[in-house]
Every structure is written in C-alpha cells, then in structure tokens.
Chain A
C-alpha cells in the first residue's frame, strides 16, 4: 500500500480555502485510499497549520450517505480542516422521460406496494391487497386483482390497463373508483381505465387509440 500511481484526488488552493476534487471515474475504494494517502503522506505542509475551509467536489459520482460519511471522517482526522460543503453533480433523476417504459416482473402480493416513478409495464399478477403506484401509466400483463394508482402525483392523463382487469380499486390522480358500484367487470377482456372530465371510464384496449393521439398509432396500408 502507500504508492498510489494514479491520482484520484486533486487538492486545489483557493482564496478562502481548499477544494478537494475527487475523481468520479475510479473505484470508490481507490478514491478513499488515495485520499487517505494524500492526507497522511504528501501535502503535509498545507494540511497542518491554520484552520482551512474545505469544499469537497465529488463530480458525477453517485455516493450513498454512508460513503459520504466515510469521506468526511477521513477529512475530519485532520483537525485543521473545516468541511464547508460536499457536492456532487450527479445527474438528478428527472421524472423518467415521458414515453419511457420500465419493465418489471414478479407478483405483487397482499400487503406489498410497488412504487414506480414513470410508466410501468408489469409482467405478472397484482393480487388482492397488493398495490401498484405509478406517476405515469400502469400496464399489467397478467391479472390486476389489487389496487392500482396511476398518475400518482396528479397526472390526470395517466391510464391503467391490464390483461385480466379485475381490480379491487382504481385510482387515477385524485379520482378513486371501485367496481362493481361504479362500473361492471365483464368477462376477462383486456381493458384499460382513464379519466374523462374527472370520471373514471373503462374501455376495451382496442379503443385506446381514440384516447391516446400522441402515441404511435399503427395505421397499416
């Protein structure tokens, strides 16, 4: 140990303190090693002495709280370093792009909640007592027997579709609906639910094109 060939940590002096630039492409452990090495072996001159303000820049690396803590703990070993900020430019998860569809498999069983940001294609069953929450659309390729909530954050254009459509309860945005009081479940057709002027409507999947003008419609020749 000790001889780190590559420099993963760059220390820069600024007017009002130090900036630690941490490489965001290397392994986290290598980064920690280099950081430790730099603090203990090189750079002794600037790291002992008067109190210094330190800004840590993580680049595009995504770090967990525990990893952040690890970095801070190493820096804290030097009594004169005062950590002012620790920043990362990790690309913020923009609520998954509109038309993107996440595919998941499994069974959502009673008492389980599947939460997803964006649109979801679920291959498997949602059992009674199970819940699927989604900020976008929900498509269940399997039986929907539990609760589904599409447009979780208020998107009234979201829809819920399932191969076997027999939900306990449906929610789109703030509208709650339940069978059979409000609509009847017919024989296992593939159906979907959508909002029309604040009311839940159920229709055959074939008619989805009438509602969704924006998606790619196949017209044939």
Chain B
C-alpha cells in the first residue's frame, strides 16, 4: 500500500502546484512509482506545469462519476515510465465531487503506486476538504510572508483536527539576501510560530518560472538551486537524512571536501 501526501497551503500562489509537480518528478527520479492527483477542479494547473495538458482524455470527475475507469484517466508522463498524473476537471467546480469519492479514488491509486501526491486548491472550503480526504500525510507550503504564514497556521489547525497527523512544512521562495537584511521573515521565526516539523526550504529561483512555462519540472535541471532543494525534500520523504541546504550560496561541505581532494 502506497502513501498519499497532500500538498496544501491555504493561501494561493505560494507554490503548491510547483511543489507537487517537482516532488512527484523528484520521487520518480529516485525510481519510485508515483501518481500526482490534481484536485483543483475548475482551475487545474498541474497538467500545464508538467507539460501534459494535450494528453488529457478523462479527468477526476469522469472517474468519480463512473464515465471511465481509473486507468483510462491516468496520464503517463513523457519523461518517466512510472510517473502518472490524474488531472482535475476544468469545466466543473469543486462541488462536482465529494470527499468520499476522492478518498475512494486515492485508496485505489495507493494500491498501485508507492506515492500519491495530491495537489490541493487554495482556500479552506470544499476543495480543501476533497483534497485531504484521502491523504495520509500533509505537506504545508508557505513563503516567508506574514499573510502566507498566517494562512499556513490556519491550515495546520484544520489538518490537526482532521485524520492527518503532524503535517510537514516547506518554506518556499526564500531570498537569502532579503532574509539577511531583515526584510524577509527568517526560517526560525516561521518555525517558531507554526511549530511543526520542517521538511525543506526552497530558495527563490528564476529557473522555476522558466521551467513551469516550458512544461518541464525544475527538478530536471541540476543547475537550479530550487531543483536541488526539491530533490532533497523527495529524499527526506523516502526516509533519507539530508541536511538543510545552505542558503548563502557558498559551496557545501561536500563540495569543499571534493575541492580539498582535488576532485572539484
């Protein structure tokens, strides 16, 4: 039985879909069998970020209403053999599906896949309830802004009152120079308020925008610092111990050692 992880945030635009796409791809890079599920019915994006928009035939609502079998609706990724996506419907709204229906679909997917990554819509209404219904774990994405942290706090409160235990935190779009000059909330401050485990930090990186526009997840580009950050998070999800990324851009311990031994 696989594991279903919902990626949520409360606030819009903090990088839920980007995180879902990159974590899904990074897990596939690690050789895991992964399915990503877009639950943002009416405003689906995951397919665009993954560059799979033109391959969609059926969607989540079609599966829920029995218009097709689950396997028919799964879109296979163009890069990986064992990476799939279940797209959301674009022509309906969040009320077109119930949490019970989503839970049954996720349960079905967990039989076949090692990881099911659920991309949650913004907000705390029906769409959120649908998204968390089938999840075993949650990743809360926030950015170093007061509004995003406030919403993340609200979401964590709701998650703690649901069946999901101890959500994990991803802090996205950190700008090291702004944190250093005190213009941006720093990581410790955010963790102190939210009081949940940190599973990763992702620096702000222009590659992410470029990659999303070209339908190629950032993690595929090893030159991008955000890509490394997402890969690290994926490794932590599968149970590896990976130290937090150094934000100041200085080469890490490993690189310095390599240099020392004349390999770098």
Contacts and interface: CB of A to CB of B under 8 A. Distances in A.
Nearest to A125: B195
Most A CB within 10 A of own CB, among B156, B160, B195 = B195
A127 interface: yes
Interface residues of A, number: 12
A22 B150 CA distance: 51
Contacts of B194: 127
Contact of A127 (B153, B158, B160): B153
A132 to B, nearest CB: 14
Interface stretch (A1-9, A53-61, A105-113, A210-218): A105-113
Contact of B193 (A111, A112, A127): A127
Contacts, number: 32
Interface of B is mostly: helix
B153 to A, nearest CB: 4
Interface of A is mostly: loop
A128 interface: yes
Contacts of A129: 150, 153-154
A154 B22 CA distance: 54
A111 B157 contact: yes
A145 B154 CA distance: 14
Interface in A145-190: 145
B151 interface: yes
B11 to A, nearest CB: 11
Contacts of A125: 193, 195
Interface in B132-159: 146, 150-151, 153-154, 156-158
Contacts of A128: 146, 150, 153, 193
3 nearest interchain CB pairs? A109-B157, A110-B153, A110-B154
Interface of B: 146, 150-151, 153-154, 156-158, 160, 192-195
19 contacts: A107-B195, A109-B153, A110-B150, A110-B151, A110-B153, A110-B157, A111-B154, A111-B157, A111-B158, A125-B193, A127-B153, A127-B193, A127-B194, A128-B193, A129-B150, A129-B153, A129-B154, A143-B192, A145-B193
Interface of A: 107, 109-112, 125, 127-130, 143, 145
Given A107-B157, A110-B150, A128-B150, 20 more contacts: A107-B195, A109-B153, A109-B154, A109-B156, A109-B157, A109-B160, A110-B151, A110-B153, A110-B154, A111-B154, A111-B157, A111-B158, A112-B157, A125-B195, A127-B153, A128-B153, A128-B193, A129-B154, A143-B192, A145-B193
